[in-house]
Amino acid sequence: MNLSGEPGRSTPPHGKRPVLTAIEGGAMTRDKGDAMGHGMDLAQVANTLEHHLNVQQNLCTRLEEVADGLPAEVRNDDCLALARSLYPIIHRSHQFEEQLLFPALRTRFADDRSLRATLDRLHGEHWEDEAFAEEVQHELVEFVAGRCEENVEKLGYMLRGFFIGLRRHLAFEREHILPMLRMGETDR
């Protein structure tokens, strides 16, 4: 975790790489009924993205509740439930975005020069968030096991760093990527 700077994105730990891989120039079609080549049109992609954004938003709310309640108001079983669900939620969302959403955007907006840089940035943030999610997951378990002052301080700092960065990422996707998908569907 990045404990040296302000709460935000962490530096991935040495030797640990998230499962994500960039999908460059995949064999996507521009068929109007199947913008993705995966049986989903842009409207379905938009709806699925919105679902993943909402799930991650709810996750941020739960993480903030824990951070605000530390230590006395935080139950061990809530921490362990969060620890179990944290990484899978993040990873599932990233899989959808990297494997379906991003190729669909590259295909539909092939002439948009700034889009490539935007998607590269989002990909990098996914990479960081997956590494950070694993660390937060570990720290939640450590807190339950120890509940010492050091655990409380470290967990609170990590939780806030994680959900603040994730909320920023989600806000961008909700405000910029979702409208692109809706516009791309109606402009056909």
Q: How far is the CB of 151 from Fe ion (least distance, A)?
A: 29
Per DSSP, the three-state class of 65 is helix
Looking at the chain, how many residues does it have? 188
Residues 94-113 as x/- pattern, contact with Fe ion by CB under 5 A = ---x----------------
Indicate the residue whose CB is closest to Fe ion.
97
How far separated are the first and last CA of the chain, in Å rounded? 45
Q: How far is the CB of 99 from Fe ion (least distance, A)?
A: 12
Q: Which stretch binds Fe ion (CB under 5 A): 6-14, 92-100, 110-118, 143-151?
A: 92-100
Determine the distance from the C-alpha atom of residue 156 to the mean position of all C-alpha atoms in its chain, rounded to a whole number: 19
Q: Toward Fe ion, which CB reaches closer, 97 or 128?
A: 97
Q: Which amino acid is at 39?
A: G
Q: Which residues ranging from 110 to 169 are in contact with Fe ion (CB under 5 A)?
A: none
Q: How far is the CB of 98 from Fe ion (least distance, A)?
A: 9
Q: Toward Fe ion, which CB reaches closer, 85 or 118?
A: 118
Angle at 7 between CA 162 and CA 125, to 5 degrees: 50
Q: Which residues ranging from 20 to 79 are in contact with Fe ion (CB under 5 A)?
A: none
Residues contacting Fe ion: total by CB under 5 A: 1
Q: Toward Fe ion, which CB reaches closer, 97 or 130?
A: 97
Per DSSP, the three-state class of 131 is helix
Angle at 114 between CA 109 and CA 118, to 5 degrees: 95
Q: Distances in Å between the alpha carbon of 167 and those of 26, 67, 157, 163?
A: 29, 15, 16, 6
Contact residues: Fe ion, CB under 5 A = 97
